[in-house]
Structure 1
Amino acid sequence: SEYTIFYPNRLRCSCDAQFFTCLRDVSTFFAYAVAWIYSKVQAHCFEYEYPVLECKNSMYDGLISLPRCTEYLVDNSSPKQWQWFNVPHLSAKQACFPNTSYRYKLFWFVANQSKRKIIQQINESQRVPIPD
């Protein structure tokens, strides 16, 4: 892969998520065993994301692994960068990771949606019915 120059056993988080989803969809004992072993050995993945400020939630599987972060608080006012994330334990059942929440709420998006809805309502009220 183009990303594995220095860490040949580390993948992009989206690739790990696809791999886990594929194994889950196969739904056999061997697929589960591979996923379980992989989740114990592969603790980190990398992704292009906003800078991490802190871990909001972590999960401990109670066996041989250390706790892993399952949700990150990121600073969406800063530019994105490549960084390491924890691969969730198999018991987390996350289909997509890293799971992030933003430090700043994007109110402009909600405001633009509201404006769009109001404009649409005005346009609909100004329509002239076509006689039959």
Structure 2
Amino acid sequence: MNQNGEIRVLYVQPGKYPEEIKIPNTLETFQKYVCGSIESVRLDRDAYIICNDEGKLLPLPPNRLYGPTDFFAGPFLICGDGGEDLISLTDSQITKYEKKYHSPLIFLELYPKPITLKCTLELYAKCRGEEHQHDTQENEHDER
């Protein structure tokens, strides 16, 4: 990794839309964004996904699909491939990968393989139970 300067990447978190950010091009920064030790996965001939190599073991929440039946767990970064170094994404790469990974996914555990559904941020929160807490507070208020 080139230890100099910042690079422009896409940051993809479970339940959120991809976000274009500039980050220092350091190992420590990548580890911070992916919540632990990193693994690089070839995305295309000119890009890599930097993810947590223990994401499924920790377990981090499922994020986006990788192939037809596998998935990335936890947040990941998409970076350009500069040969020896990770580099900034171009404008066209930002557009391409934002479109590819735009929609958050809900993962339904069904045998023999999980099924995924594209969803909105609101539906994702509801399915993860985040909105349910709000409903519970309203119900307690109604009973008083």
TM-score, normalisation: structure 2: 0.28
Structure number with larger C-alpha Rg: 1
TM-score, with normalisation over the residues of structure 1?
Answer: 0.30
